[in-house]
Amino acid sequence: MNTPVPVPDSIPTAWGWFQFFLLLTFPLHLLFMNSLLGASVVAVRAHLKGEELAHELAKVIPLLIALTVNFGVAPLLFLQVLHGHLFYASSILMGAFWIALVPLLLLAYYGAYWYDFGFKSLGRFGVVLLLTVIAVILFIGFVFSNNLTLMMTPQSWPEFFSAVGGSRLN
Give the confidence band of 4 by pLDDT, cuts at 50, 70, 90. Answer: low
pLDDT at 1: 53
pLDDT in tens, 47-93: 999 999 999 999 999 999 999 999 999 999 999 999 998 999 999 99
pLDDT in tens, 104-150: 999 999 999 999 999 999 999 999 999 999 999 999 999 999 999 99
| Predicted TM-score (pTM) of this structure | 0.90
3-state DSSP of the chain: CCCCCCCCCCCCCCHHHHHHHHHHHHHHHHHHHHHHHHHHHHHHHHHHHCCCHHHHHHHHHHHHHHHHHHHHHHHHHHHHHHHHHHHHHHHHHCHHHHHCHHHHHHHHHHHHHHHHHCHHHHCCHHHHHHHHHHHHHHHHHHHHHHHHHHHCCHHHHHHHCCCCCCCCCC
pLDDT at 3: 60
